[in-house]
Structure 1
Amino acid sequence: MFQKLLMMAIFFAVTVGIGIYCRRHTYNVGNFVLGGRSVGPWVTAFAYGTSYFSSVVFIGYSGQFGWNFGVSAAWIGIGNAFIGSLMAWLVLGRRTRVMTKYFESATMPDFFAKRFCCPVLKEVAAVIIFVFLVPYSASVYKGLSGLFSMAFGISFVWCVIGIAVLTAVYVVVGGYMAAALNDLVQGIIMIAGIGMVVVSILNGKGGFLASLEQLSQIESPLAPNLDGALVSFFGPDPVGLLGVVLLTSLGTWGLPQMIHKFYTIRDERSIHTGTVISTIFALIIAGGSYFMGAFGRLYYTPAEGGKVVFDDIVPTMLAHSLSDLLIGVVLILVLSASMSTLSSLVITSSSTVTLDVLRPLFPQVFTTGRQVRIIKVLCAAFVALSVIIALSPNSLITTLMSLSWGALAGSFLGPFIYGLYWKRTTTLSVWASFLWGIGVTGINFFFPFTAPTMAGAIAIVGSLAVVPLVSLITPRLPQERIDDAFACYEQKVTARSRFVLPEGDED
């Protein structure tokens, strides 16, 4: 217990210290929300990766989908690395940075309003973001607090409250730069910790081959006639597996807290470097987490009645296979992953509501200094609301996350990516995508017709079809407005040339 407490104390001290150090970056909105658009590649890449993966992945998703799909759950991690990270950076990174800087947009709703010439889009998108980021934040608290409760034997309620207070302190004090620098430190901890955890889990059952052999002998209810379904290439449910891959990989392309990272990056070279770093990071963290979760059936036994509590699988695995020292490492690992995600969610939601909803309604009140103070107050309010939902006994981690990602990415993915690339995208197609994303996930939440993860995947993929279909049958934007928006990609710059012969010397 002393070792675990000492490690936690050191971690908390470093986290708060970075927040205090970064106070100088919070004197205006641009610095508090975007870090002055001068963040380097390593910090941005780790901020992207650590915001991507939290206790939701390590505790909730790896436990549930490792249980359902077995070793094939590792495909989810591979999809996260190559679709959610590599392709996201290649497709969105540069164009997002260039066009948002051209529009002087600090938030995704403001981008929608300026790109599609419709101020009302800003308010509606901001409300969608605030409403649907709250359940995602709550799912992070649930995953993190369940592990802390197991490790320290204290009430789940106090774990949630303590983590919320710590997150609020360093975000409110240091803003985006504090969150980003903490992400770098926390990302390094995550890489070191995940390797030790996977090795310990396998060694707890006799090593890699012995663990595979034991898992191959367990029958999967999803494919009762398939021998060794849990160690097969695509697992017992390939369609369900594909749905999770799409939700957790393609979904990042439409999440405001992830796209926000591209707003802040410093220059062209940083984008190339960040692409490589974030992809490797995702492959290690996501691949390791889902692979670890595949062996949950070797450690976890359902309670009487056969009901599986998915949120308890990974904590049970860790309690049975790790030493006290390694449990301390895992606590820091999951805390690092979760706090980085929470800080990103808090900044995104609070800045969006302040800049896109409140400031247009009360312009005389929102001086520069007041804007920062109001954002900080809303940061605290967002944390408090997330805690209230997290304390609900009936909320499941994966359900909360699927609802959030499906609604947000299902609403925003199509309008955002087509808005960056396609001049024919119309304002009405953006409204149609908003209705589609919220409609599919909302209907499935109240009147379930499929699994929450599959509903989220349908909403996300459907957004890519809804926008072009509606755009082709609705009025175009004014041509001069379109030309102005895309002129940002064609700005001419003067470059110095060193090895070009003067004209007339060719002979």
Structure 2
Amino acid sequence: MPVKIALLVIFILVTIGVGIYSRRRVHGINDFFLGSRKMGAWISAFAYGTSYFSAVVFVGYAGKFGWANGLSVVWIGIGNAVIGCLVAWLLLARKTRVMTHKLNVSTMPEFFGARYDSMAMKIVSALVIFVFLVPYTASIYKGLGYMFESAFGLPMNTIILIMTVLTGVYLILGGYVAAALNDLIQGVVMLGGSILMVFYILNHPEVGGLSNGLAKLAAIDSNLTGVFGPTPLRLGALVLLTSLGTWGLPQMLHKFYAIKDEKAIKRGTIISTLFALVIGGSAYFVGAFGRVMLNNEVPGGGNMDMIIPVMLEKALPDVLMGIIIVLMLSASMSTLSSLVLVSSSVISIDLIKGFIKPNIDEKKNMLLMRIFCVIFVALSFFMAIWENPTIDALMALSWGVISGMFIAPYLYGLLWKGTTRIGAWSGFATGFLVMAVGLAIELPKVGYAMGKVFVPGIGAIAMLASLVVVPVVSLVTKKYSEAHISKVFDASEQNAA
């Protein structure tokens, strides 16, 4: 216990120290939210990767879906690396950086407002982001709570409160600069901790090495060692939501706004992909052996969110458990900082400065952004201590609604001149309606217990439906003027050359 506490205290002190150091480099909104758009390859790639993988992945998804799918769950980690990182960077990074520079926009709602010449679209997207990122943040606090409860025996709500305060303090001090520097430090911890975690789990007597572990898994159910596992369709939905879903999440795309230049994009593409392959692959690989490690009995009276915490507490020595705790905290703090920054920005930048009070001075606007950081983490805290939903359900709800609504209008708006305003609105409506109707159908079947609904499946359908509807509607609705298209695309392409 003393070792774990010491490592935790060191991590917290470093985190706050980076926040204090970064405060000197924050002089305005551009510094606070985008780091002056001067982030290099390593910082941008690690910021993207650490924002991608949080305690939700390690505790919620890897544990629950590793239990259900066995070894095939590793496909999720592979999909995250290839689709969620490699293809996302190749397809979106350069165009996002160039177009957002040209249009002088800092947020996703500002992008929608400028690209589609629509104040209403800007307001609606801002409200959706603020409301539906709350459950995502809550899921991360919940994941940390389970991990710390298992390791330290403290009440979960107390742990969540401490983490909420820590997130608010270091982020309010240094904004994106603090978050990005911490991401680099945290990313190194995550890489080392993930590799050690795999080593110790595989060599634990309950597993007995890779070949013995696979044999024991097959003895429980031969489908658990199959290429696509016992539920291929559900596995496919998980891969789709957690991989393609990043293309529509504002906290992920935000990293492309802030990257320095095209050279940094090329290097960042490779770094982020390798990072995701190691972190995502390790998390899901470990989750695949949950049944073997725990004698095929779900801990905590059937609480799937406790699978990974109990596995690690059982397998790891104190020193390594301390490192893994720091790993989980690292993964989560970076995701939290991204979510809180993006959520506070949509109120202070998109709604207040962009709509309610356009002439507000920068100091007041930055103060407002810090205030809304506090409000957002407070809302997330109260949702995190809500007893009903499981971690994966909370995260899938956020990803499903936000990516379902935004992925197609953003992707086509960035890459295709023919995307119309009505086409983009149809994407918003389709993503939201699919999620709403899907939940309305499924919730009564399970007694309105959100944790029992396979929300990732509904989210995956929402994204696919939106990707189909937007181009179809755009082909038959009124096109933009040549002047508007030239303003958005032609100058951007010239600047990119």
Which residue identity is paired with 1:128?
A: V
2:18 is aligned to: 18
1:116 aligns with 2:119: no
Matched ranges for 1:56-135 at <5 A: 56-135=56-135
The CA deviation at 1:304 is 9.6
The CA deviation at 1:427 is 0.6
1:478 aligns with 2:481: yes
Matched ranges for 1:357-396 at <5 A: 357-363=351-357, 366-396=360-390
- DSSP 3-state at the match of 2:229: coil
1:404 is aligned to: 398
Give the distance between the partners of 1:304 and 1:186, measured in 2 at CA: 30
Instruction: Name the Cα RMSD after superposition.
Output: 1.7
Matched ranges for 1:230-309 at <5 A: 230-300=224-294, 308-309=302-303
Give the distance between the partners of 2:295 and 2:474, measured in 1 at CA: 52
Give the distance between the partners of 1:475 and 1:85, measured in 2 at CA: 34
Which residue identity is paired with 2:392?
A: T
The CA deviation at 1:33 is 0.5
Matched ranges for 1:477-496 at <5 A: 477-491=480-494
Q: After superposition, what is the alpha-carbon deviation per residue over 1:342-399, rounded to whole angstroms, capped at 9, x for unaligned?
A: 0000000001111111223432672110010000000010000000000011121000
Give the distance between the partners of 2:416 and 2:314, measured in 1 at CA: 53
1:179 aligns with 2:179: yes
Tell me if the contact between 2:102 and 2:492 (Cα under 8 Å) persists in the aligned partners.
no
**Larger-gyration structure (1/2):** 1
Tell me if the contact between 2:237 and 2:460 (Cα under 8 Å) persists in the aligned partners.
yes
1:457 aligned residue (457, 460, 463): 460
- DSSP 3-state at the match of 1:25: coil
Change beyond 3 A, Cα 1:423–1:156: same
Compute the TM-score of the two structures, normalised by the length of structure 1.
0.93
Percent of aligned pairs with the same amino acid: 48
1:328 aligns with 2:322: yes
Give the distance between the partners of 2:196 and 2:188, measured in 1 at CA: 13
Give the distance between the partners of 1:387 and 1:13, measured in 2 at CA: 22
- DSSP 3-state at the match of 1:352: helix
1:466 is aligned to: 469
Query: More deviation in 329-338 or 432-441?
Result: 432-441
Query: More deviation in 88-97 or 447-456?
Result: 447-456
Matched ranges for 1:222-237 at <5 A: 228-237=222-231
Give the distance between the partners of 2:198 and 2:495, measured in 1 at CA: 51
- DSSP 3-state at the match of 1:329: helix
- DSSP 3-state at the match of 1:475: coil
The CA deviation at 1:493 is 8.8
- DSSP 3-state at the match of 1:176: helix
Q: After superposition, what is the alpha-carbon deviation per residue over 1:229-265, rounded to whole angstroms, capped at 9, x for unaligned?
A: 1011111111111110000000000000000000000
The CA deviation at 1:13 is 0.8
Give the distance between the partners of 1:186 and 1:343, measured in 2 at CA: 12
Which residue identity is paired with 1:167?
A: T
Tell me if the contact between 1:22 and 1:178 (Cα under 8 Å) persists in the aligned partners.
yes
Give the distance between the partners of 1:311 and 1:488, measured in 2 at CA: 49
The CA deviation at 1:147 is 0.4
Query: More deviation in 92-101 or 423-432?
Result: 423-432
The CA deviation at 1:301 is 5.6
The CA deviation at 1:407 is 0.5
Which residue identity is paired with 1:14?
A: V
- DSSP 3-state at the match of 2:24: helix
The CA deviation at 1:130 is 0.5
Give the distance between the partners of 2:382 and 2:54, measured in 1 at CA: 19
Query: More deviation in 358-367 or 194-203?
Result: 358-367
Which residue identity is paired with 2:314?
A: H
The CA deviation at 1:171 is 0.4
Q: After superposition, what is the alpha-carbon deviation per residue over 1:322-350, rounded to whole angstroms, capped at 9, x for unaligned?
A: 11111101100000000000000000000
Query: More deviation in 11-20 or 299-308?
Result: 299-308
Which residue identity is paired with 1:274?
A: G
The CA deviation at 1:491 is 2.1
Give the distance between the partners of 2:383 and 2:99, measured in 1 at CA: 36
1:316 aligned residue (301, 310, 314): 310
Give the distance between the partners of 1:95 and 1:492, measured in 2 at CA: 11
Which residue identity is paired with 1:462?
A: A
Which residue identity is paired with 2:215?
A: E
Give the distance between the partners of 2:109 and 2:227, measured in 1 at CA: 41
Tell me if the contact between 1:35 and 1:264 (Cα under 8 Å) persists in the aligned partners.
yes
Structure 2: tracts of 5 or more residues without a match:
444-452
Structure having the higher helix fraction is 2
Which residue identity is paired with 2:208?
A: G
2:449 is aligned to: none
Query: More deviation in 242-251 or 299-308?
Result: 299-308
1:213 is aligned to: 215
- DSSP 3-state at the match of 2:442: coil
Which residue identity is paired with 2:481?
A: P
Give the distance between the partners of 2:77 and 2:429, measured in 1 at CA: 30
Structure 1: tracts of 5 or more residues without a match:
220-227, 495-507
Give the distance between the partners of 2:401 and 2:67, measured in 1 at CA: 26
Tell me if the contact between 2:8 and 2:326 (Cα under 8 Å) persists in the aligned partners.
yes
The CA deviation at 1:435 is 1.2
Compute the TM-score of the two structures, normalised by the length of structure 2.
0.95
Q: After superposition, what is the alpha-carbon deviation per residue over 1:206-245, rounded to whole angstroms, capped at 9, x for unaligned?
A: 11111111111002xxxxxxxx110111111111111100
Give the distance between the partners of 1:14 and 1:418, measured in 2 at CA: 41
- DSSP 3-state at the match of 1:366: coil
- DSSP 3-state at the match of 1:7: helix
Tell me if the contact between 1:412 and 1:433 (Cα under 8 Å) persists in the aligned partners.
yes
The CA deviation at 1:300 is 3.0
